[in-house]
Amino acid sequence: MTNRLPRMTCVIGPPAAGKTTLTTYLHNQFHSPVLRPRDAIAFALQQDPGLGSLFARDNRGWVLDPALGLALRITLARLDEPVILEGLPWDAFQLADLHQHTRGELTILRLRAPTAILHQRRSQRMFCATCYPKPATGEATCQSCGGPLTTRADDDHEAFHDRLDTHRSNAAAIQHLAADPRIPAIDLDTDQPASRVATEAFTAIGPSR
Ligand SMILES: [Zn+2]
């Protein structure tokens, strides 16, 4: 069986849905790089430091959607191996860009979980500044590096609500475009053990190729 990833696998979903856990799993299985919004921005800036002002962050720590789209295009132009995207596409325009870029060889994994579960995970999750974005394990100190664990600033209640709302409105537009039968979109319920979510994802994108 020759399992391989499609040209592009996009893992999207609301904050605390388990995106990093799933992309880490896919990375370990398929050895394809994981690209997150901050990676694309860093790469674009490395290619052209003169773009710096386009990537100014607002008080929520976000860059403008068109700037993120630009960073994505700059990054993808240099990547010609299968890639796993985490938290991307962020909006329907980026999805259209990705569809063009991959000539349709992209699969979307949409993570879903009840809002109450997302809030519960938000209030419990900790992160390690050294190991991030790798999910942190441990109570007060990181089991990987021994550093202190803290909560994420954008996980505070109000910021989290804001991120959830923004995700919902963008997700509706993405869903509309992904309804195009040429774009396979697979829904994964993440209100179950992470290993089951991973198995479902693997079954959905792996063996059939
Ligand atoms: Zn650590």
State pLDDT tens for residues 100-117.
Answer: 888 888 899 999 999 999
- Average of per-residue pLDDT across 132-138: 76
Query: Which of the listed ranges 15-19, 61-65, 166-170 does the model predict with the highest average pLDDT?
Result: 15-19
Tokens of 19: 């995106």
Share of the chain above pLDDT 70, in %: 96
Mean residue pLDDT of the chain comes to 86
Binning pLDDT at 50, 70 and 90, where does residue 157 land? Answer: confident
Ligand 1 geometric centre to CA of 148 (Å): 8
Domain 8-205 indexed as CATH 2.40.50.660: no
Q: How far does residue 28's CA lie from ligand 1's centre (Å)? A: 18
Torsion of CA 201, 190, 14, 41, to 10 degrees: -40
As a whole number, mean pLDDT of residues 143-163 equals 85
Distance in Å, CA 138 to ligand 1 centroid: 9
Q: Identify which has the larger pLDDT, 125 or 88.
A: 88
- Crossing angle between the packed helical segments 37-47 and 65-77, to the nearest 10 degrees: 70
Q: How far is the CA of 144 from the centre of ligand 1 (A)?
A: 5
pLDDT for 110: 93
Q: pTM of this prediction?
A: 0.86
pLDDT at 181: 67
